[in-house]
Amino acid sequence: MNNQKGNPVNQPVVLLVHGAFAESASWNRVIQRLRSNQLTTVAVANPLRSVEGDATYLCDVINGIGGPVVLAGHSYGGMVISQAAAGNPAVRALVYVAAFAPEPGESALLLSSKFEGGTLGQALQAYPVASGGNEFRIDPAKFHRQFCADLDTEEATLMAATQRPVTERALSDGLAVDEAPWRTIPSWFVHGDKDLNIPAAALRFMAERADSRGTREVAGASHALAASQPDAVTATILEAADHARG
């Protein structure tokens, strides 16, 4: 019996959930490495509209897989995988890639401001959207330094042009579950020490609070960890997938 064509039922499918100002292709280098390790992988198109709505969509994807999954979320994607994993027996492991790992009620904005060192607010452009409130994108002129300083200028320019904006509501929404899923589902963390979107101190705090099974802190790495440090991200996901097989 298979959960996807050619994928044994006890082999987890890895679902990669991008965060704000990124898109599904930001995982490409990680996907290549996971595929070489015979892992089926799906990069989910995160709507970036609201935590609950985005998580509902992710749950639809999980249901479509029809078997065990490992959820890996980048940045705001950590909010989404946390919401989607709560009470979901298909989720066998969580991987937070430079990502928020919230307690109930905590939002991305709250956690990012909990420690000093972030400069995202100074790099954002805001404009109203028809559904209400504002949407944010990173000023393309500031994108390289802010988001992916450890990538070359040409790639940073492309990433700035393909960035997916996020609503103010999504960043303000608190985790709406009774208990944080990382309290019962094993979790792994990987992040850089030069992250300007989520301060490294906040990322360390969340990993320690979640009693991380394994944490990698990559020296000199930016927020765009999946693109700039795919080996470290892949190694972390492989550890989680190995656990999920057991």
CB 51, CB 85: distance < 8 Å: no
d(CA 181, CA 81): 9
Q: In this structure, are strands 134-138 and 166-167 parallel, antiparallel, or unpaired?
A: antiparallel
pLDDT by residue (tens digit) across 129-158?
998 999 999 999 999 999 999 999 999 999
Q: Nearest to residue 146, comparing CAs of 72, 223, 88, 78?
A: 223
Residue 6: which pLDDT band, with cuts at 50, 70 and 90? Answer: very low
CB 170, CB 76: distance < 8 Å: yes
pLDDT by residue (tens digit) across 165-192?
999 999 999 999 999 999 999 999 999 9
d(CA 87, CA 25): 29
Report the pLDDT averaged over residues 226-243. 98
d(CA 84, CA 54): 9
**AA letter at 11:** Q
pLDDT by residue (tens digit) across 15-41?
999 999 999 999 999 999 999 999 999
d(CA 195, CA 88): 31
d(CA 180, CA 40): 27
Tell me how many degrees the CA angle 48-118-181 measures, rounded to the nearest 5.
50
Which residue do the tokens 């969580």 mark? 94
- Residue 72: strand pairing partners: 16, 95
pLDDT by residue (tens digit) across 95-128?
999 999 999 999 999 999 999 999 999 999 999 9
